[in-house]
Amino acid sequence: MFHATTILAYKGANKAVIGGDGQVTFGNSVLKGNATKIRTLYQGKILAGFAGSTADAFNLFDMFESHLEASKGDLLKSVISFSKEWRKDKVLRRLEAMMIVLNKEKIFILSGNGDVVEPEDGEIASIGSGGNFAISAARALAKHSNLDEEDLVRESLMIAGELCIYTNQNIKILKLEE
């Protein structure tokens, strides 16, 4: 688990949403409070977020985007080819980062170990040091509230920001709508 951030993604009936906090830490110090750790990729059809080293994440975003271009935006093919490259490359294997990628149909967690994980429920995924707080809140809110996808992600990340010292409440959200 990275002591880095919190990213939460939710693929609901009407929207696919990803959110992340803005805190960048170095050891036990906050370096920045308003970083952006989420992006829209491939012609605005894919959402992605990262937890871990910022420099590593920029490399991974670029690399993943090249796989998206090569597969003409096919998310499943892209995550498989990306994970193979990440796992086999001696330099890339040392990168300390994780990613969540999603579109309106699928959601995946990608790790430097070559893991490609589709959440069991196919709807909610989280990474980072506050990920367990955020996903717990999201599951409870999904089950016991009428919040739309965007509000559910925002509220869950706010809860994680109250609990995780490596997560703040400067939340950024991206969405894909029908």
167 marked among binding-site residues: yes
Q: Is 25 a catalytic residue?
A: no
6 marked among binding-site residues: no
Q: Which residues contact 10 (CB under 8 A, 6 or more apart)?
A: 16, 17, 18, 123, 124, 138, 142, 149, 152, 153
Q: What is the distance between the alpha carbons of residues 152 and 148, in angstroms, rounded to a whole number?
A: 6
33 marked among binding-site residues: no
CA-to-CA dists, residue 53 to 60, 141, 147, angstroms? 10, 30, 32
Is residue 60 within 8 Å of 51, Cβ to Cβ?
no
Q: Which residues are annotated as a binding site?
A: 161, 164, 167
Q: Which residues are annotated as a binding site for Na(+)?
A: 161, 164, 167
Q: Which residues are catalytic?
A: 5
